[in-house]
Amino acid sequence: MTIDETKMLYVHPAPVRVWHWVNAAGFILLILTGLQLRYPEIFPFMSLQDAVTIHNYVGFVVIGNYFLWVAYYFGTLKIRIYIPNLITFIPAAIRQALFYGYGIFKGDPNPHHMTPDHKFNAMQQSAYLFLMVLLLPVQMITGLFLWDVQYFQDYIQVFGGIKIIDSVHVLIFFFFAAFMCIHCYLATLGHTPFAHFKAMFTGYEEHH
């Protein structure tokens, strides 16, 4: 394939790119300060008080940023790119899993072809939907409760106590930390290791 045959597809509009990178920076800061909060005796990044302050501010930025995502995707009805097609989902997900687990090593082509209206493969769709509709809201709500435990104490009681809220927050924190590793790794699976990273800045994915 030559460079002339490369087609540039505009798949990441500006609001999505802004949301994505603010979210990414927010997640990194929340993970670092979260580690500092949970393991103050191990991590020497900063004082506990600074970690609390940064964690709180960044938490609110990520919550605000989430509403940017909601406004964009629901406002433009592009949220449908996250909704799996119930008829084709299972075979498409199996095809995609076989590609990641086997075909990619042999050099098979990716069974999913990205277009602006069909941006995610079946596995990405289900993973991101789970993440954006369930995990992130739960993390934001538990984080909000932990931000002012006295103010939200009635809600905290309803869910079984502060330790339950903290446990949910911490488990999702570990999940997000693991997700960041896998997400960054999968982003290197483009036609070059940095192709998807570059696209997330320019908005254009190179289609070969």
Partner 1 sequence: MTKKRIKCLLMYGVAALVLSIPWPSFSADISNDDCMQCHSDEGLSRTESEGIKEKVYVDQNAFNYSMHNINGIKCVDCHEDITELNMDAELPHSAVLAPAQCAKCHAEENEAYQNSVHRKAKGKGVSIPCYSCHEYHYVTKLDSDSVFERENRFCLKCHNPNNSHDWLPQKEAHFAYVECSVCHAPAAAKRINLRFYDLIQQKFLNADDILAALKTDTKGFMPLIDIDKDGIINPDEFDNMVFLFRQANLRGTFHAELVVEMSPSVHQINRGGAQGDCNQCHEPTSPFFQDITFYLRTKDDRLVTNQVDRKVLETYNLNHFYALGGTRVRLLDMIGILIFLGGLGVAAAHLTIRILTIPLRQRRKEQEHHS
Residues that bind partner 1 (CB under 8 A): 37-38, 40-41, 47-49, 52-53, 56, 100, 104-107, 148-151, 157, 160-164, 166-167, 170-171, 173-175, 177-182, 184-185
Q: Which is nearer to partner 1, 6 or 157 (CB)?
A: 157
| Nearer CB in complex with partner 1: 106/117 | 106
| 166 versus 206: smaller Cβ distance to partner 1 | 166
What's the min distance (Å) between Cβ of 192 and partner 1? Answer: 14
Calpha distance 170→165 (Å, rounded): 9
The smaller minimum CB distance to partner 1, of residues 9 and 61, is found at 61
Q: How far is the CB of 151 from partner 1 (least distance, A)?
A: 7
CB 87 → partner 1: shortest distance, Å? 29
Give 99's contacts (C-beta < 8 A, 6+ positions apart).
108, 110, 111
Q: How far is the CB of 69 from partner 1 (least distance, A)?
A: 23
Question: How far is it, in rounded angstroms, from Cα 39 to Cα 185?
Answer: 26
| Distance separating alpha carbons of residues 109 and 183, to the nearest angstrom | 20
Q: What's the closest the beta carbon of residue 66 comes to partner 1, in angstroms?
A: 22
Phi/psi for 99 (5° steps) reads -65, -50
CB of 43 to partner 1, least distance (A): 11
Task: Indicate the SS3 state at residue 126.
Answer: helix
Residues in the chain: 208
The residue among 179 and 204 lying less far from partner 1, judged by its C-beta, is 179
Q: For the range 68-77, what are the long-range contacts, defined as Cβ-Cβ under 8 Å and sequence gap of 24 or more? A: 68/15, 68/18, 68/19, 68/22, 69/16, 69/19, 69/23, 69/132, 72/13, 72/15, 72/16, 72/19
Separation of CA 43 from chain center: 25
Residue closer to partner 1, measured from CB, 87 or 185: 185
